[in-house]
Amino acid sequence: MLPEAVAAMVEEMASTGNASSLHSSGRRARRVVEEAREQFGAALGASPSEVIFTSGGTEADNLAVKGLFWARRALDGHRRTIVATPIEHHAVLDPVEWLVTHEGAEILWAPVDHAGRVDLDGLSQLLDEHHDAVSLVTVMWANNEVGTVQPIPQIAELAHRYGIPVHTDAIQAVGHLPVDFAASGADCLSVSGHKLGGPVSAGALLARRGLDLVPGLHGGGQERGIRSGTLDVPALKAFAVATIQAVQTQPAEAGRIAALRDDLVRAVWKAVPDAVLNGPVPDGLAGPGPALAPEGPFDRLPGNAHFTFPGCEGDSLLYLLDARGVECSTGSACQAGVPQPSHVLLAMGVPEATARGALRFSLGHTSTADDVAALAEAIGPVVDRARGAGLSSGLSKG
């Protein structure tokens, strides 16, 4: 968490009052919530009435996907199709799959290219053919694994030709990229506090005025009757403070972190020349392998570097790096105790065997050049050891 957010949260935790109560303490708490709503909305180009506070990004995604689907189906029972990309976060994919299993929904996958970017021509053709049945389009603003940034305004324009609402999971984007809800054209936008320096217990769904959403939680009727539940006043205050800070510092901080990211990529390539950088290639970077066309400054998250290491298992690399004090992620889902290759990489056309050797390195506001140097020192020996272990395992099996 950002220090300013921690201070705001601790200060508010010393106060009492339910923001739905009418007594003095309740009215004071309500003022805190509404000030947070105004500040949060202003930072992201939304009016206060468009801000629905939630417990985090997963709830915001579920509310958008299920709420839009149910509302649109109620208006027209033929609208049972959801258009999504195969590289969405599971906070979107799982609600979609639940709707398919339990609510009779159908799913159409918008195609993505080798960098994880939505094929706009393919999406346009899909909507042309099926728009009468489509209830919503959901496309994440920036991918959590490979960092690819999507052209949300163009996607919204395509969908709006047929009056189809668009939801975007912007959890990875806010605070790291320029995000303006009104300018994006999206009808719903999900945000999570912990991805921008706020608490893990706070999130929000931005929903344009007049948009019909069926609530997923029922109770006290808080948040315009769309999201019932007692509001976590300290967390929401900290959430707003973190959002303001992250948005205000984003241009300079994104430049600083992107420079660190580029140094990290170069260090990995120097130590492991056959490592493959997945997703868009940042400006100014050229790998030791086949030439890759550089992308623009906002085509990839500034703090994301995602590699596959041939001949390695991602889990082995993760544990070996962790032992050296470097924490990273495989970017894979683990279901029923069985590691699975990343659905994102598979959708991008990466072979399953290659996808199993994936690692994601993430940089944030606490990251420094010393962190990059520590990885640069560790990655070569770690990859050599992981490859040696894999070779030994293969020989023993043979």
Read off the pLDDT of each residue in 283-302 and give the average, rounded to a whole number: 69
Query: pLDDT tens digit string along 117-151?
Result: 999 999 999 999 999 999 999 999 999 999 999 99
Strands 166-169 and 134-138: parallel
pLDDT above 90: residue 282: no
Distance CA 353, CA 144 (A): 21
Give the DSSP H/E element, type plus range, for residue 338. strand 338-339
Give the C-alpha separation, 40 to 204, whole Å: 9
Residue 234: the pLDDT is 98
Query: Taking the model in full, what pTM does it have?
Result: 0.93
pLDDT tens across 173-216, in order? 999 999 999 999 999 999 999 999 999 999 999 999 999 999 99
Name which of 231, 207, 206 is nearest 217 in CA terms: 231
Report the candidate in 235, 241, 249 with the shortest Cα–Cα distance to residue 55. 235
Minimal CA–CA distance to 190: which of 89, 284, 281? 89
Helix, coil or strand: residue 68: helix
* More confident of the two residues 332 and 238: 238
Which residues pair with residue 304 across a beta bridge? 362
Tokens 């520590």 correspond to what residue?
374
What fold is seen in the domain 251-397? Aspartate Aminotransferase, domain 1 (3.90.1150)
Q: Which pLDDT band, with edges at 50, 70 and 90, does 268 fall under?
A: very high
CB 246, CB 2: distance < 8 Å: yes
Euclidean distance between CA atoms 108 and 272, whole angstroms: 39
Q: Which residues are annotated as catalytic?
A: 334
Torsion of Cα atoms, 234 then 235 then 237 then 241, to 10°? 140
Amino acid at 320: L
Return the domain boundaries, the chain.
Answer: 3-245, 251-397
- Which residue from 144, 195, 171, 192 is spatially nearest to 365, judged by alpha carbons? 195
SS3 374: helix
pLDDT value for 285: 79
Q: Which of 169, 164, 159, 223 is nearest to 192 (CA)?
A: 169
What is the fold of 3-245? Answer: Aspartate Aminotransferase; domain 2 (3.40.640)
- Using DSSP's 3-state secondary structure scheme, residue 391 falls into helix
First vs last Cα of the chain: how many Å apart? Answer: 49
Q: What is the largest CA-CA distance in the chain?
A: 75
Higher-confidence residue of 187 and 395: namely 187
pLDDT value at position 287? 67
pLDDT of residue 85 exceeding 90:
yes
- For 24, 112, 306, 333, the CA distances from 361, given in Å and listed in that order, are 48, 22, 6, 16
| pLDDT tens readout for residues 27-50 | 999 999 999 999 999 999 999 999
Average pLDDT of every residue of the chain: 93
Strands 134-138 vs 81-84: parallel, antiparallel or unpaired? parallel
